[in-house]
Structure 1
Amino acid sequence: MNKKGIISFSLIFIVWAQFSIKAQNFGDSIKPCPIKSLPELFKKKDSVLIVKPQKNNFFLIIPIIGSQPATGFSYGFVTQYTFKGKKIDDKYSSINLGATFTEKKQLLLNFKNSVMLKNNNIYLSGDWRFYIFSQPNYGLGTDIIPRASKDDDFDLNALKEPMNYNYFKFHQTASWEVKNNYYVGAGVHLDWYTTITDENLDIANGQFTNHYNYSQKYGFNDKEYVVNGASLNLLYDSRDNQINTNRGMFANINYRFNPALTKSQYASSVLFMEYRYFLPLSKYNEQHVFSLWATGQFVTTGNVPYLNLPSIGWDQRSRSGKGYTQGLFRGQKMVYLETEYRFPITCNQLISGTLFANFTSASDKDRDIKLFQYIQPAVGVGLRILIDKATRTNLIFNYAWGRHSKAFYLNAGESF
């Protein structure tokens, strides 16, 4: 999307937000509507959605049928268990388990946890994965896509460097509340990449790839590598509901140390920072929400393997970088910003929508590409269908446009 398109989208975004808030405020002041969720409309046992609502918890199984740039057509399932303690002030927790198979013969197994224990005094956050994966790489830095709108002949596919590999990830942190909403904790992290095949690599004929050149320069085995470490964490969480937040703030600072435990490893450290902010825009209907999500990830000392460098789409929920394929932007330093306006469409809150925009910047120290020297934007729209009233869980559909790129997403739960 060119500069004029982004400006036009921003203006529409602002006008629509103001109109929607005023219309909803007027409607709410006349006649409030009872909230309805999808299961109340479909009671059949053979429904596509299998929902088992219980007191203070909610279990969901949904089939996954969709398409994304990194996977192509995919199918599988996602289960989500949302629960909370018996006290009124207890916050909701969620555990997700998913399995997906794609037309590119990828197998994706995911287990995610974001759990509050002992009256919100302990916060657990985990991201466990096993992937039999294939993904093209495009090099480092966000300058790989030209920002000039006149480059209509630009073909992103020409930059693809296809790769196949297996990936095992185990990231788990535990934090303890030291003051109201403030947490301190630690974590363990393991990233293991095996059977890496660089399809465009042909050493005999002098054909090299970004992954191979990077691995050779920094002494990594281009067929297999592992990064393991421990982290210290500082957290602040005042969100009213982590499943679908209407108000509050979340901030996280994670500093990870990766020691050299074997001869094939190199010591390094990585700083990760995250900030989320949620502001209700209407005093009558808190579904009108302005939200902000910002992350920064920086290799602060040493070097990490190519596939372990900061990149889009590899956050815990794999939601960053909408509009672009997973892993398209990668670098030693990366900053990501996303803003979203969430609004009701129907009075009973069954259907709601979103307008969003995001920006990504990544560096490449080998070519002296600085952070924020090149910024890649994207914009998009989304539709939400309420599937559980108590937890405010939505089935979400997003469509996003980036520069020379676009993508559709189907998920359960908000992006952030």
Structure 2
Amino acid sequence: MKNLFFALAIFLLATTAYGQGDTSYRANKFNDFKLVPLPAIGSNPANGWLFGVAPSATWRMGDPATTKLSNLVGNILYTTKKQWLISSRSNIFLNEDEWILVGDWRYFITSQPTFGLGSSTPNDPTESPNQPGVYWGEQQMDFSWIRFYETVLKRVGTSKFYLGVGYHLDVYSKIENFVEEELPSEIRFSHDFYNDQLGFDTERYTISGITLNAVMENRDVAVSPYEKNFALISYKINPSFLGSDQSSSSLLLDYRHYFPLNKQRKRHLIGVWGYGNFLVSGNLPYMALPSIGYDMFGRSGRGYAQGRFRGESALYTEAEYRFPLQRNKNTFGGTVFVNAASFSSRIDNEKLLGKINPGYGVGFRVMINEKNRTTISADYAFGQKGNSGFYLNINETF
């Protein structure tokens, strides 16, 4: 009931924001509306091939001269690994960009491998050198996951800065660990060992909290920027009285910058992205720890499967060179990119930046709506120690 109350409170804040921000263009709230109801075919190492529908919509909630494009990406997907992935992620700018509403809702019946904590975990199964009797290397996990994230941000004066509050809820349940081969009875899975050490249940847990957020939104188009920048500082407080299994807090820092290389062809650019995610106080259950590929749209760490690296704190950086493939049109484009990630593990005494895992790759882009920059992206990326993957998605990676 507590979680439901706070979810409803965020909806009320969003409704109030809409009423205050939408003072004009009321006769046509959805200017420049474009819906792409694509049948979805995607791929990544954690899910295999994905099939279903993935509607993508862009529109303006006010005067096009003063209001940025809003966007929503939905998914109803079934994968070759027998997973169901249902989600809706949105970034909505109200009239004259006075308010921003950011939503991330998910219901997954899914699975993915985990390898233990930190940046040094191997691909192949082995016993942890730091924790005798604990399984290291690839371990499969089946689980269900409900997420409700909603944030309301208010612009500060006429600046590009916003302040706001959000409610974030994650519920992991029906968690089951397994490997294909027979394990000695004394060997324990990384997930179960970690949760037992810190007093969390191994089959179900909840993280429920409030975030305090500061944002600088200066991108020209959020789904596929050509220039300028974006920054986020988000401090998350997960008190037990809101439903979290244990009280904790964490800090997320995110910065993105886009450098056009040709004023006449702004699609010719370099984009850079960096973020840090840090456990500040208390403890988080295993699946709620910072992990590769767990940003809002699941795009970080190309070259590795989602969840390949996990730890109490994380640092990530990426640079991508984007370019058009046609002299006078923007339909086809290409990319080359490099990234690097590092994760810490208190339980294995591994420090942040003690080991760095790089990735690199190339990509192909097809812009299916040039006005709103809706793009289909296909990438192939390589990581260390034989890790690699093919990624097929809608819109740019960041």
CA RMSD of aligned residues (A): 2.0
Q: Identify the match of residue 367 of structure 1 among 332, 348, 355.
A: 348
| 8 Å Cα contact 1:379/1:402 also seen in 2 | yes
The aligned residue for residue 154 of structure 1 is: none
User: Normalising by structure 1, what TM-score?
Assistant: 0.82
Q: How does 1:298-309 map to 2 (within 5 A)?
A: 298-309=278-289
The aligned residue for residue 397 of structure 2 is: 415
The aligned residue for residue 234 of structure 2 is: 254
Q: Identify the match of residue 102 of structure 2 among 125, 135, 148.
A: 125
The aligned residue for residue 405 of structure 1 is: 387
Letter in 1 for 2:162: Y
Distance (whole Å) between structure 2 residues aligned to residue 297 and residue 185 of structure 1: 19
Q: Is residue 365 of structure 2 the alignment partner of residue 387 of structure 1?
A: no
Q: Identify the match of residue 147 of structure 2 among 155, 158, 169.
A: 169
The aligned residue for residue 49 of structure 1 is: none
| 8 Å Cα contact 2:208/2:242 also seen in 1 | no
Q: How does 1:238-249 map to 2 (within 5 A)?
A: 238-249=218-229
Q: Is residue 331 of structure 2 the alignment partner of residue 350 of structure 1?
A: yes
- Aligned residue pairs total 353
Distance (whole Å) between structure 2 residues aligned to residue 290 and residue 86 of structure 1: 30
The aligned residue for residue 65 of structure 1 is: 41
Q: What 5-or-longer segments of structure 1 have no aligned partner?
A: 1-53, 147-157
Distance (whole Å) between structure 1 residues aligned to residue 264 and residue 183 of structure 2: 65
Q: How far off is 1:207 after superposition?
A: 2.4
Q: How far off is 1:110 after superposition?
A: 0.7
Distance (whole Å) between structure 1 residues aligned to residue 336 and residue 243 of structure 2: 49
The aligned residue for residue 225 of structure 1 is: 205
Q: How does 1:15-414 map to 2 (within 5 A)?
A: 56-84=32-60, 85-145=62-122, 159-179=137-157, 180-200=159-179, 205-261=185-241, 265-347=245-327, 348-403=329-384, 404-414=386-396
Structure 1 residues 203 and 269: alpha-carbon distance in aligned structure 2, compared to 1, 3 A threshold: farther
Q: How far off is 1:204 after superposition?
A: 8.8
Amino-acid identity (%): 35
Q: How far off is 1:145 after superposition?
A: 4.3
Deviations 1:80-133 (A, max 9, x none): 110012331210010111111012110000100101012101011111100001
Deviations 1:154-200 (A, max 9, x none): xxxx8211111100011111100013100000000001011111224
Q: Which moved more, 1:72-81 or 1:233-242?
A: 72-81
| 8 Å Cα contact 1:107/1:132 also seen in 2 | yes
Distance (whole Å) between structure 2 residues aligned to residue 197 and residue 162 of structure 1: 8
Letter in 2 for 1:174: V
Distance (whole Å) between structure 2 residues aligned to residue 264 and residue 235 of structure 1: 26
Distance (whole Å) between structure 2 residues aligned to residue 393 and residue 273 of structure 1: 27
Distance (whole Å) between structure 2 residues aligned to residue 368 and residue 251 of structure 1: 31
Q: Find the residue that maps to 2:321 and give its secondary structure.
A: strand
Q: Find the residue that maps to 1:189 and give its secondary structure.
A: strand
Distance (whole Å) between structure 1 residues aligned to residue 242 and residue 236 of structure 2: 18
Q: What 5-or-longer segments of structure 2 have no aligned partner?
A: 1-29, 124-135
Letter in 2 for 1:161: Q
Letter in 1 for 2:214: L
Consecutive aligned runs of 4 or more in structure 1 exceeding 3 Å deviation: 200-204
Structure 1 residues 204 and 262: alpha-carbon distance in aligned structure 2, compared to 1, 3 A threshold: farther
User: Normalising by structure 2, what TM-score?
Assistant: 0.85
Q: How far off is 1:260 after superposition?
A: 1.1
The aligned residue for residue 6 of structure 1 is: none
| 8 Å Cα contact 1:134/1:165 also seen in 2 | yes
Q: Higher relative contact order by CA 8 Å / sep ≥ 6: 1 or 2?
A: 1
Letter in 1 for 2:121: I
Distance (whole Å) between structure 1 residues aligned to residue 372 and residue 41 of structure 2: 24
Distance (whole Å) between structure 2 residues aligned to residue 330 and residue 237 of structure 1: 28
| 8 Å Cα contact 1:64/1:410 also seen in 2 | no
